[in-house]
Amino acid sequence: MRSTLVRNFVRPLLERLGTMLAAYLIAKSIDSDLAAQAANGVVALCAIGVDLILARMTRDKVAAAAALETQQELHSWMAYNSPSNREGA
């Protein structure tokens, strides 16, 4: 679990830390109202990024669980309808 969080959340966040720092420095050289708006924009983009990452992780887990359930149902159906079960009936 921890390695998954590091691989899918912390690492990409650290990779984009330079971009965030650059945006902050650019915004800092502008007057305070524009800097506050830029900072709010950066925070909003980060929040959207986190949301997208978590949605992707959840979607992948749900898809894997659904595939496993479908596979188990297929095996159960095949075992029930196998020729060896029909001979005994």
pLDDT band at 46 (very low <50, low <70, confident <90, very high): confident
Mean per-residue pLDDT over the chain, rounded: 75
Query: Which structural domain range is residue 54 located in?
Result: 2-88
56: tokens are 């992707």
| Angle, in degrees to the nearest 10, between helices 17-28 and 32-80 | 160
| CA distances from residue 26 to 21, 35, 47 in whole angstroms, order as listed | 9, 8, 20
pLDDT at 85: 64
Count of domains for the chain? 1
Average pLDDT over residues 80-89: 66
How much is the pTM? 0.43
Highest mean pLDDT among 16-20, 35-39, 69-73: 69-73
Check pLDDT > 60 for residue 88.
no
Check pLDDT > 70 for residue 22.
no
- Three-state SS across the chain? CHHHHHHHHHHHHHHCHHHHHHHHHHHHCCCHHHHHHHHHHHHHHHHHHHHHHHHHHHHHHHHHHHHHHHHHHHHHHHHHCCHHHHHHC
pLDDT at 25: 66
